[in-house]
Chain A
Amino acid sequence: MRSVIGIDLGSTTTKAVMLDEQGETLGFGITNSRSNYEVACAVARIEARTAARFGMLERALAQDGNARVWLGPLRDAFRLELFMVDLADLRHTIEGHLAASQRPDRKTLDAAAAHVLDVIAAGAADGFLGGAARRSDFFRDIAGAGFVAEAEALARSGRVAFEPLVALYDRAILDVETRLRPRDTRALLDRALDRIRAMPGAAGAADTLAWAVAHVTRQPIEEVAVVGTGYGRQTLPFPKAAVRSEILCHGRGAHRVFPDTRTVLDIGGQDTKAIQVDGRGVVTSFQMNDRCAAGCGRYLGYIADELGLGLHELGPLALGAKKAIKVNSTCTVFAGAELRERLSLGQRREDILAGLHRAIMLRAMSLLARSGGVRNELTFTGGVCKNPMATRILRELVDENYGADITLNVHPDSIYMGALGAALFSLDDLAAGTVPELPSFVTSHGTEVAS
């Protein structure tokens, strides 16, 4: 199958969208951004390919309702297998670091780390199988949370110091994340199948599933055009001709999903963009913050850290506010301090959170206004649109300022709009016969082994 890919390298997450030649979505992929841009792009792309495979599986099993109900568990098992591979790499890396170190407490640390990793590995299945909910899907987050929890437990027993133990993880995860390892999708799926087979009641469906896996993984997916976008475009691992302005991509992507939208608001980790598009999805004007990251997504990240919460828990907590306390500084770095100060003044946590959310949405509103206001429909994209408090405040502010008849679109996949726009641009390139050279992380295969 021939396909095109759009990749959006964000400051927090890297997203990929794969389309077929008719513009149909094949798969979405996401991973956390990291210091090696090339690896981030490659992983997002592999994730999109994996998603495409699952899409094909679903189509292959369209007729077989019995087998299809096992697709969900298969996916969970696949994720689990993937996690185990990464965990093994983490273990290996930590061992390597310790072996090279001269620390006198090397042996103790080694044993402690091994214990921690054993516990994580033993508990992994529970975290993935049976539809368990996870705070995050990124290896860094899952493994990190587990490591810190176990390390704390160990440290409490007094046998090992907490800081140096956790430092091991902090150091190793950087290596793990920036190393590009091939993903043998077929092998992972086979192992996942083995897990399914062992599940009660799966016996009948397992053979059908196995057939579908074998069938689907034999089909080649060829990427014929790639366009990249994202922050720090100068350093993207793409040839120059394959890079499009993120603003154009976000506008185009959002318009594709919501063809009536004329205004797009994107709040990512480090920037906020307000974009106006015409009836064809072409950007007509835009505004973005510069030089200062005040009031962007990272702001919420700091707040979540301060409270020891996951990002996805912040919004729901804030929804419980009785009022929004007026917050003054939107300097991202000061966010934690402001929170602390207000908590110590005895203000309610929810109310402060509401105020902090409101502060960043107010900044976004002024950018929106500056870019030309909200016309008929507003589409909210970027990571922050996953935060229900942010969307609620946006709705209120839009009502107050532009009237309640404005449609506000927030799509579960809004975070992918930039990548989708990039993919659409690459379809254009394909149609115009001006496909730029493919980036090396796509041409140097071996990163995904399917057959």
Chain B
Amino acid sequence: MSTGHVSAGIDAGSSAIKVCVTRSQAGAGAEILSTAVQRIRRRNIGDVVRATFDEACAAARVEPRDLCYVASTGDVDAVDFATGHLYGMTTHARGALHFMPDARAVLDVGALHARAIRMDDRGKVLGHRMTSQCASGTGQFVENIARYLGVPLEDVGRLSIASTEVEEVSSVCAVLAETDVINMVSRGLGTGDILRGIHLSIAGRLLRLLRAAGADGVVAVTGGLAADDGLVACLRELLGKEKAKPKKPLPKLDLRAHPLSPLAGAIGAAILAAYRHDQLERRGRTASAAVAMEAG
């Protein structure tokens, strides 16, 4: 092996497993050796994790045993062979910083969760807000509506952006909103317009999360929904329409998605894995000790 720490991050999400292998100097100057994503699709999670991990290792041409540290993130119980676990906010923050060094906040939207994270220039989480137990601002909502409208996920963003007339969705609840959608279809509204309505409704909720978390400056949109440019466009649009009180201007936000955005968690985990490995080593503990310790 050449110089540096080769480490892996595994992001076990509720809809997909994402893996990244990096080479870095204790987390600094990381270079992505490979990434892999597999949707779970009703398969056994453990199997998908293993398969995605093997795929990523093969692509990076590394043997799993040569990795100095494997960090899992997302679902704690999904990866039984990880050296240690890091939590989603920590890894998304760090991952986002890798491909967007200016970012000082992260908006991570996955299938069943959404969180807004404020961080410093090293990716340390300073504040956050998240949704819980309600699907009204998450990817699953978009998926359901898309399925209802017969639109493949990949087309959702394009259609929404092309829309010219928006239709507001009034229900807070993702289920009751479907009824709104039925109404819209009946009034002959176009698929794109409806999707945009849904995007706007979600975007409104996400923006409130960002504000509540105290985000300021560049915001990296991460998670699966970062791939949905329709949503990102709506977020920007709402941002432009926000009304500030004259005396108290709201912090300026600059929302950006990146092609690597959906992989932010895995990237962050891989980088921090190397950092943690080094940290423990310097404290005179080996990584295998970390396995025992952090499992206990």
Contact = CB atoms under 8 A, between A and B. Distances in A.
Direct contact of A and B (CB under 8 A): yes
Nearest to B134: A331
A293 B141 CA distance: 14
A133 interface: no
A163 B44 contact: no
Contact of A170 (B46, B150, B184): B150
Contacts of B186: 34-37, 178
Interface in B163-191: 172-176, 179, 182-187
A299 to B, nearest CB: 8
A35 B185 contact: yes
B174 A166 contact: no
A163 B14 contact: no
B140 A293 contact: no
A329 B44 CA distance: 21
Interface residues of A, number: 32
Contacts of A293: 173, 175-176
Interface string B111-128: 110000000000000000
B185 A174 contact: yes
B175 A333 contact: yes
Interface stretch (A123-131, A186-194, A337-345): A337-345
Given A170-B150, A341-B14, A329 B133 contact: yes
A397 B184 CA distance: 40
Given A337-B111, A341-B14, A11 B179 contact: yes
Contacts of B19: none
Contacts of B152: 163, 167
Nearest to A231: B179
Nearest to B186: A35
A340 B14 CA distance: 9
Given A35-B183, A37-B186, A337 B112 contact: yes
A292 interface: yes
A270 B179 contact: yes
Interface in A381-404: none
A15 interface: no
B14 A331 contact: no
Contacts of B135: 331-334
B150 A333 contact: no
Contacts of A167: 150-152
A336 B141 CA distance: 12
Nearest to A333: B135
B173 A334 contact: no
Contacts, number: 71
Contact of A298 (B141, B175, B182, B184): B175
Contact of A270 (B40, B175, B183, B187): B175
A337 B140 contact: yes
A445 interface: no
B99 to A, nearest CB: 28
B288 interface: no
B293 to A, nearest CB: 26
Nearest to B112: A337
A336 B140 CA distance: 10
Interface string A285-314: 000000111001010000000000000000
B123 to A, nearest CB: 28
Contact of A166 (B14, B111, B150): B150
A329 B183 CA distance: 28
Interface in B140-165: 140-141, 144, 149-152
A296 B111 CA distance: 22
A270 B174 CA distance: 11
B282 interface: no
Interface of B: 14, 40, 42, 44-46, 111-112, 133-135, 138, 140-141, 144, 149-152, 172-176, 179, 182-187
Given A292-B172, A343-B42, 5 more contacts: A270-B176, A332-B175, A334-B112, A334-B140, A344-B45
30 contacts: A33-B182, A35-B183, A35-B185, A35-B186, A163-B152, A167-B150, A167-B151, A174-B185, A178-B186, A235-B183, A270-B176, A270-B179, A291-B172, A292-B134, A292-B172, A292-B173, A292-B176, A333-B135, A333-B138, A333-B140, A333-B174, A333-B175, A334-B140, A336-B140, A337-B14, A337-B111, A337-B140, A340-B40, A341-B14, A344-B46
Interface of A: 11, 33-37, 163, 166-167, 170-171, 174, 178, 232, 235, 270, 291-293, 296, 298, 329, 331-334, 336-337, 340-341, 343-344
